[in-house]
Amino acid sequence: MLQNKFGIIFGVANKRSIAWATAEALHEAGARLAFTYQGERLKDNVEKLTSEMKGALVLPCDVVKQEEVDATFERLRQEFGRLDFLVHSIAFAPKEELEGEFLDTTREGFLTALEISAYSLAQVARAAAPLMTEGGSIVSMTYYGAEKVVPNYNVMGVAKAALEASTRYLASDLGKRNIRVNTISAGPINTLSARAVSNMSSMLKHHAERAPLRRNVEAREVGNTALFLCSPLSSGITGEVIHVDCGYNIMAV
């Protein structure tokens, strides 16, 4: 499905990352992939994971450092010459903001969460667009806490609401260049970012009991949806939030 296509994936931290499950789906479909990692401490992880993946490129990119974003896309231009898709699977808020009340969100915590989790989508889309000379697809990861109040999600819910709105505005801007922009609203998955959260196991149990499919979603199911959104099968879809949550979001109680 994606032979002779070039993509970049932001947000692999380890093998449980949604970004990694997405990479596996895209790689199996034949795409050539570049990966970015945030900070030296994750470099080894990403290099080991991708060592068997033919043609994989691994680059440092902390989205707070504009020079690293610029260098990433310059390397892509040199190595790939073109880009067909981009996967954004990045989020961060200071841990203290993900407990207690949203009411107590600090200015600094708010700005950090919005910068890393939402602004970065427009930032990388702007850098990617000139390389997407044959059209393209941009996919990010969001969560139900953008739409409804989820305990402790707090400022991340506000950041995801901004990410979802950014998806629509970017889709509107980039449509004329045949670049589609969509976001996947994933159900809870036990990744590094989720495990750091108190009460995650009761959250997972709650979701599995209430979701129409009576189970939690697997990272690979999110990855397969990302593959669909990066492939020509989704050529008529842009600006959309696609729920991959075993149906949880449709239920009132």
Residues that bind ligand NAD (CB under 6 A): 11-13, 17-19, 38, 42, 62-64, 89-92, 116, 141-143, 186, 188-189, 191-194
The nearest distance, CB 17 to ligand NAD, in angstroms, is 3
Of 37, 144, 153, 248, which residue is the catalytic one? 153
**Can you tell me the distance from the alpha carbon of 147 to that of 58, in angstroms, rounded to the nearest whole number?**
34
196 binds, among ligand NAD, ligand IMJ, none (CB under 5 to 8 A by kind): ligand IMJ
Task: Check binding of 184 to ligand IMJ (CB under 6 A).
Answer: no
Q: How many of the chain's residues bind ligand IMJ (CB under 6 A)?
A: 16
Residue closer to ligand NAD, measured from CB, 68 or 173: 68
Identify whether 144 is a catalytic site residue.
Answer: no
Task: Check binding of 1 to ligand IMJ (CB under 6 A).
Answer: no
Identify whether 119 is a catalytic site residue.
Answer: no
Residue closer to ligand NAD, measured from CB, 92 or 102: 92
The nearest distance, CB 36 to ligand NAD, in angstroms, is 7
Of 37, 143, 144, 248, which residue is the catalytic one? 143
223 binds, among ligand NAD, ligand IMJ, none (CB under 5 to 8 A by kind): none
Which residues are catalytically annotated? 143, 153
- Chain residues that interact with ligand IMJ, rule: CB under 6 A: 91-93, 95, 98, 143, 150, 152-153, 156, 188, 193-194, 196-197, 203
